[in-house]
Amino acid sequence: MVSTLTWIDHDSRARERTLRILAQFQEKESRDELGIGTVRDSLADLLFPGTSTIQTRLRYMLFVPWIYRALEDKNVSAAQFAGAADKHERELVRRLQTADDHHGMFGKNAGGDIKRLPSSVYWAGLGAWHIRLTPFSQGQYHQRIDETYRQKRRIARQQRHGRDRADDPDTEPDNVYNWHPRLPATPADFPEKVTFLLTRDEAEFIRDRLQVACPHSLLAFLALQDDKPTGAYPWECASSGRFSTTHQTILHHARLFSEVMHGAALSYNYQLAKKTERVGLCEHHEENFQEWRNALPLAEIARWNINELWALTHREGHQIAPQTRHFIESWVRYIRTTPDALLKGDASALIEYREKKLKGPRSRFTNKRAQEQWSGHSGTGRISYRWKTVKTLLADLHQGLCQEAVC
């Protein structure tokens, strides 16, 4: 896998998109068998920028820059930088194994042999929250670190000679920072006695970064609240009554999209169970589908302005393919017109056609090997827009904010 994905290192956006796609296979509810992930991720990024389903604990947002800043302070060369970072991250993983709190720990079982390091998981989020200031991909950052050192030395010489070049964007000191200049100090016992508990100063720093980097997001709003977020979905949060009109609008579309596409996923699983003649599984999926159908808010779906959904989701960094729009609009139309015939006829054929179009010869409807490898459940969890992850990150933040300030 590493050798086949090295090309994405030269394009930070492509790299982040690819890592996000790979991450979808970590959770059942994230499996995107029908190609709707672009819409889901666009809404999730509107609500909770910088997050992903494979993030676990908030303090990794500081662990990673602390490691890199220490390497920069030692002037580790570009030739040795990636290797040194890898070594220090694996040491961090080993140290965390000795901590009392193992929840959300990378490499809980693999330890130092972990394959995906925290820096690759948090790199995009560090940029989105403006903790990471370098615009480059992780690989480019490693390769260009010597240029950072040269710029710092040049500025130091200019300052020693008393030259005032603060108005020159090419030599302004801020331009040589790869990490936010107010990044909290690295604890003296890091990583020997590392834990996931944020200090109050650290929590305030992250909270403030959210207010500056993504001030209009629901994530930034929730970071300011005294109570921890609740509910299985963001629209079920106890504090939802205090959400802004903009947040309420986004959540309205997010909830209805999650609602209708859950039915598409259930139909897909029902059809596969029927295709493979797994009677018990077929009955199970049919029962789940009927339960979904009986709970459908049909009146609300009938009034739903789906064009507003496209206006929200089709934006920079998130392009919704015409075929995806057509599939979703067709499924919604069948729900509106024939809600009691969704497991047969054209509505059923739509689901099969979509999967075949996406997977080609690997389609589970036609490929015997793919049918044999199918677990019986695929993408059956309702879309929650990373809410489980967000609740964990915010719980860490609120716990840190409740710590006593260090004077």
184: helix, strand or coil:
coil
In whole angstroms, what is the distance from residue 272 CA to residue 359 CA? 14
% of residues, the chain, pLDDT over 70 = 87
Answer yes or no: is pLDDT of 331 > 60: yes
pTM comes to 0.88
- According to the per-residue pLDDT averaged within each range, which of 111-115, 155-159, 310-314 is highest? 310-314
pLDDT band at 114 (very low <50, low <70, confident <90, very high): confident
How far apart are alpha carbons 84 and 95 in whole angstroms?
17
pLDDT of residue 173: 52
User: What mean pLDDT comes out for the span 33-48?
Assistant: 97
CA gap 153, 322 in Å, rounded: 51
The predicted-structure confidence for 137-153, as pLDDT tens digits, reads as follows 999 999 999 999 999 99
Flag whether pLDDT at 176 surpasses 50: yes
Q: How many residues appear in the chain?
A: 407
- Segment 342-398, tens digit of pLDDT: 999 999 999 999 999 999 999 999 999 999 999 999 999 999 999 999 999 999 999
**Which H or E run includes 222?**
helix 218-223
Q: Give the model's pLDDT for residue 13.
A: 53
Alpha helices (H) in 131-244, listed in sequence order: 138-143, 145-160, 200-213, 218-223
Tell me what pLDDT residue 194 has. 93
Task: Identify the pLDDT of residue 104.
Answer: 84
Which tens digits make up the pLDDT trace of 196-242?
999 999 999 999 999 999 999 999 999 999 988 999 999 999 999 99
pLDDT score at 27 = 42
Task: Decide: residue 302, CB within 10 A, 0-12 exposed, 13-18 middle, 19+ buried.
Answer: exposed
pLDDT digits (tens, 9 = 90+) for 52-78: 999 999 999 999 999 999 999 999 999
